[in-house]
């Protein structure tokens, strides 16, 4: 078996170690494939699908989990790819709460940032008054949970289970009622959570946010060493 494979991404040739994903290969040559569920700190799971690309296969492939193959010709910028990403974003935004607790405090809601990149002012699937009421869990002294803003990307679950190894978080429910849960689906503040904050740190949306920042609008003016 060869140690490396060669492929092209958007026409650019690239050679990567065997087993590298398309997302890693694209990143190596400066092609930015959007992600919501993926983080370089975690095992890729390919659940949000916004990183889909064309590889010539029957259907679109999630770049964060798809290994590169010798001679593969990857396109990240076709109409089909763009249409799919827009559709996914519109679906995710359909019941997204306004405002997002992340966007209004630290301004780094990754879903809304991606929507801006795709010039999505509104979603065709928007349901007026996305029912955030009753879907918020404020039982933790450090983190506010807004299930309405959760996109089930599993970052929090991987952060809890695979980075901090606290094994408090999981998915619970089926179909449309699927949601992130603590222990056997008890409020966060009543669970075995040790308040390390990893879930809040890795969450890309307004689902898990820092309670102490509520009411603030933090704008970082200056990144200094």
Partner 1 sequence: MTGQSVSARVVNSVCPYCGVGCALSWVVDTANNRIVEARGRDGAANLGRLCVKGRYGFDYTTHAHRLARPLIRREQSYPKGALSWDDNGPHRPGGPVDPQTVLPHFREATWDEALERVGENLAGIREREGGDALAGFGSAKGSNEEAYLFQKLIRAGFGTNNVDHCTRLCHASSVAALLEGIGSGGVTNIVRDIARADVALITGCNPTENHPVAATFMKEAAANGTELLVVNTRRPAIADHAAMYLEIRPGSDVSFYNAMMHVIIREGLIDADFIATRTENFDALKATVADYPPESVAEFCGVEAGRITEAALRFGRAGAAMVFWGMGISQHTHGTDNARCLIALAMITGNTGRPGTGMHPLRGQNNVQGASDAGLIPMVFPDYQKVDDPDVRARFEALWGRPLSPTPGRTVTEITEGALEGAIRGMYILGENPFVSDPDVEKVRKALARLEFLVVQDIFLTETAEFADVILPGSAFAEKTGTVTNTDRRVQLGRQALRPPGEARQDWHIICQIAQRVGYPMEYADVAAVFDEFAGCTDSYASLNHTVLGDHGRWYPCPDPEHSEGEPIVFKDTFPRGRALLVPARQSPPVEATDAEYPLVLNTGRVLEHWHTGTMTRRSQVLHGLSPEGFVEIHPDDAAGHGIADGDWVEVASRRGSIRIRAQVRDRIARGSVFVPMHYREACANVLTHPAVDPDGKIPAFKYCAVRISRLAAKKSA
Name residues contacting partner 1, limited to 50-69 (CB under 8 A): none
Query: Which range, of 80-88, 110-118, 145-153, 210-218, touches partner 1 by CB under 8 A?
Result: 210-218
* Rounded Cα–Cα distance for residues 164 and 181 (Å): 16
Shortest separation between residue 153's beta carbon and partner 1, angstroms: 17
Query: Which range, of 63-71, 85-93, 150-158, 190-198, touches partner 1 by CB under 8 A?
Result: 190-198
Report the residue number, 24 or 103, with the smaller CB distance to partner 1.
Answer: 103
The yes or no reply on residue 220 touching partner 1 (CB under 8 A) is yes
The yes or no reply on residue 221 touching partner 1 (CB under 8 A) is yes
Taking each helix axis from N to C end, the angle separating 79-93 and 110-117, rounded to the nearest 10 degrees, works out to 140
Instruction: Give the x/- contact pattern for partner 1 in 83-102, rule: CB under 8 A.
Output: ----------------x---
DSSP state of 160: I
The yes or no reply on residue 120 touching partner 1 (CB under 8 A) is no
The answer to whether 81 touches 55, Cβ cutoff 8 Å, is no
The answer to whether 9 touches 26, Cβ cutoff 8 Å, is yes
Query: Which range, of 6-14, 53-61, 172-180, 193-201, touches partner 1 by CB under 8 A?
Result: 193-201
Report the residue number, 26 or 101, with the smaller CB distance to partner 1.
Answer: 101
* Inter-CA distances, 77 with 33, 118, 133, 150, 167, Å: 9, 13, 39, 27, 38
The yes or no reply on residue 133 touching partner 1 (CB under 8 A) is no
CA neighbor of 140 nearest in space, from 54, 47, 38, 211: 211
The answer to whether 55 touches 73, Cβ cutoff 8 Å, is yes
* Rounded Cα–Cα distance for residues 53 and 82 (Å): 9
Which of 61, 76, 105, 205 binds partner 1 (CB under 8 A)? It is 105
Report the residue number, 24 or 52, with the smaller CB distance to partner 1.
Answer: 24
Distance between first and last Cα of the chain? 44
The answer to whether 146 touches 209, Cβ cutoff 8 Å, is yes
Shortest separation between residue 101's beta carbon and partner 1, angstroms: 9
Would you tell me which residues interact with partner 1 (CB under 8 A)? 41, 99, 104-106, 141-142, 162-165, 194-198, 201, 210, 212-225
């Amino acid at each position: 078996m060869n140690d490396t494979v060669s492929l092209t991404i958007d026409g650019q040739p690239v050679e990567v170690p065997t087993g590298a994903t398309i997302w890693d290969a694209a990143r190596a040559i400066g092609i930015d494939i959007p992600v919501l569920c993926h983080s370089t700190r975690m095992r890729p799971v390919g659940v949000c699908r916004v990183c889909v690309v064309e590889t010539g296969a029957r259907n679109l492939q999630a770049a964060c989990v798809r290994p590169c193959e010798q001679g593969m010709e990857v396109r990240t910028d076709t109409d089909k790819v763009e249409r799919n990403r827009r559709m996914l974003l519109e679906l995710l935004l359909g019941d997204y709460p306004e405002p997002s607790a992340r966007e209004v405090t630290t301004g780094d809601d990754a879903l809304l940032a991606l929507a801006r990149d795709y010039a999505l002012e509104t979603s065709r699937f928007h349901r007026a008054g996305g029912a955030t009421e009753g879907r918020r869990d404020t039982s933790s002294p450090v983190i506010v949970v807004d299930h309405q803003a959760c996109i089930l990307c599993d970052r929090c679950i991987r952060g809890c289970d695979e980075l901090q190894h606290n094994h408090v978080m999981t998915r619970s429910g089926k179909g449309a009622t699927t949601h992130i849960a603590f222990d056997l689906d008890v409020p966060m503040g009543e669970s075995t959570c040790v308040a390390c904050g990893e879930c809040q740190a890795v969450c890309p949306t307004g689902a898990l946010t820092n309670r102490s920042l509520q009411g603030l609008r933090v704008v970082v003016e200056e990144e200094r060493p």
